[in-house]
Amino acid sequence: MSGTDRRTQLLQLAAGAVFLAVAVVLVLIVVNGSSSGDGGDAKLEGVSEVNRKLAGIPQQGMVLGDPKAPVEVVEYADLQCPYCKAFTEETLPPIIEKQVKNGEVKVAFHNFTIIGEQSLPAGAAALAAGAQGRGWNFVELFYKNQGAENSGYANDAFLEAIAKGAGVKDLDKWNADRAKFTAEVKETSAEAQELGFKGTPSVAIRGPKTNGLEPIGTPSSTGDLEKAIEEAS
């Protein structure tokens, strides 16, 4: 084969390889892109981010922060609720970063199921994760992978994937515990209604200057929540 023939053949092969590479990259991007929003994919979003964010912060049940913190912020939320996701991902982080980490405030997650029938098992699954010290990891990871309301994404496989990603160590125990916590989800939902809450997320606060657990509604910003904490302190 002459040099020119070999050159032509090599360049044709190279062109084919470029075409193939472009196709493979596009397929990879499309496959990964399509699995990002449905929330049901086993490859979860934000696992390391959530676990890193919460690393080192004490958790007892669904309470994040030092159990002896003088002020307790109680969030009543539905895991399927997009506003609850926004509250947890946008309003709460500065509070967690400062007042929770330095032991001034603790934040409790209480289920208030209003969205749909999957909210109840999802809430119970979070509490079962909380029994193993991974409740907030579960909640935040759930939000990171939240799908459209009532689209059916929050099935058992999704909940188990979230539990795994959240770092729940004993999955058999978590599975066994889930049913037990259904009653507690119903209790906290009733508690939210007793406090006069109609939607999620709703917040109540307890501190040295409050009269027990006082409802404050839905803080519209971190500043609003900081102000409520200051008044309760």
Residue ranges binding another protein (CB under 8 A):
2-11, 13-14, 17-18, 21-22, 24-25, 28-29, 32-33, 36, 43-45, 47-49, 52
Cα–Cα nearest to 134, from 177, 188, 193 = 177
**Helix 156-166 vs helix 47-54: crossing angle, to nearest 10:** 50
C-alpha pair distances (Å), 46 with each of 117, 166, 217, 227: 25, 10, 29, 30
Nearer to another protein, 43 or 209 (CB): 43
For strands 202-206 and 71-77, give the pairing: antiparallel
CB of 133 to another protein, least distance (A): 20
For strands 105-111 and 214-217, give the pairing: unpaired
Decide: helix, strand or coil at residue 148: coil
Beta-strand runs (E) in the chain = 59-60, 63-64, 71-77, 105-111, 202-206, 214-217
CB of 105 to another protein, least distance (A): 23
Structure tokens at 135: 């409740």
Nearer to another protein, 38 or 49 (CB): 49
Nearer to another protein, 147 or 219 (CB): 147
CB of 99 to another protein, least distance (A): 21
CB of 157 to another protein, least distance (A): 17
Nearer to another protein, 40 or 215 (CB): 40
C-alpha pair distances (Å), 103 with each of 17, 46, 73, 164: 58, 26, 13, 28
Distance CA 192, CA 196 (A): 7
CB of 54 to another protein, least distance (A): 14
Nearer to another protein, 11 or 176 (CB): 11
Nearer to another protein, 26 or 190 (CB): 26
CB of 142 to another protein, least distance (A): 17
